[in-house]
């Protein structure tokens, strides 16, 4: 069984995987990081989005071994219970989550967007989360949350 070595949320991790394992399953079932959700399982909803070397990917379609030697960030890597990422805090302050299932993916996409483009227009935000579906259709609050996060990050001197 091959060993996958990656930097997961800042820590070096070794995990034995099957050749056909997908990253989403390894994260959830082998590493217990269940913040990453699986919904459609075919790259249409974005609930499984994680960052690989800073870029958002759908982990349900991503062969786990592609992450070999890469830096992977999941929703668990953005903040902890008492120290949330500014994007997470903005989602709470704008009441962006309804059922909440899409939110880890939305936050990951927002993180990828703001890291690359700290001052997005509304249209750029819409495009940034266009790979994520929310079945509660709470898009407005999500967009407003990302705008708020961008403002707060700008005050602090940019995203980290």
Of 95 and 130, which has the nearer Cβ to other proteins?
130
Min CB(124)–other proteins separation in Å:
11
Q: Which stretch binds other proteins (CB under 8 A): 6-14, 89-97, 123-131, 143-151?
A: 123-131
* Tokens linked to 109: 């996409």
Q: Is residue 85 a contact residue for other proteins (CB under 8 A)?
A: no
Q: Which residues contact 112 (CB under 8 A, 6 or more apart)?
A: 51, 54, 55, 56, 128
Asked if 55 interacts with other proteins (CB under 8 A), we say: yes
Residues 6+ apart with CB under 8 A from 82: none
Contact between 156 and other proteins per CB under 8 A: no
Closest approach, Cβ 105 to other proteins, in A, equals 9
Closest-CA residue to 46 (of 99, 138, 108, 91):
108
Among positions 11, 14, 32, 42, the unique one binding other proteins when judged by CB under 8 A: 42
**Token representation of residue 54:** 């800073």
Nearer of residues 93 and 115 to other proteins, judged by Cβ: 115
Q: Is 77 in the site for other proteins (CB under 8 A)?
A: no
Q: Does 122 bind other proteins (CB under 8 A)?
A: no
| Residue whose token pair is 């990302």 | 146
Angle formed by the axes of helices 139-156 and 86-93, to 10°? 140
CA distances from 132 to 11, 20, 47, 48, 92 (A): 27, 25, 7, 9, 18
State the minimum distance, in angstroms, from the CB of residue 143 to other proteins. 14
Residues that bind other proteins (CB under 8 A): 2, 18-20, 22, 42-46, 49, 55-58, 61-63, 65-66, 68, 109, 112, 127-128, 130-133
């Amino acid at each position: 069984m091959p060993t996958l070595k990656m930097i997961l949320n800042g820590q070096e991790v070794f995990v034995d995987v099957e050749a056909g394992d997908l990253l989403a399953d390894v994260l959830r079932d082998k590493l217990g990081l269940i913040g990453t959700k699986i919904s459609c399982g075919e790259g249409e909803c974005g609930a499984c989005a994680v960052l690989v070397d800073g870029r958002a990917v759908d982990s349900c379609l991503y062969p786990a071994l592609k992450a070999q030697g890469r830096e992977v960030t999941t929703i668990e890597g953005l903040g902890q219970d008492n120290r949330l990422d500014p994007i997470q805090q903005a989602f709470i302050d704008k009441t962006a989550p309804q059922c909440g299932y899409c939110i880890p993916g939305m936050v990951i996409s927002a993180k990828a967007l703001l890291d690359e483009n700290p001052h997005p227009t509304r249209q750029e935000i819409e495009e940034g989360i266009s790979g994520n579906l929310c079945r509660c259709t709470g898009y407005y609050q999500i967009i407003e949350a990302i705008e708020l996060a961008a403002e707060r990050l700008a005050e602090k001197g940019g995203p980290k």
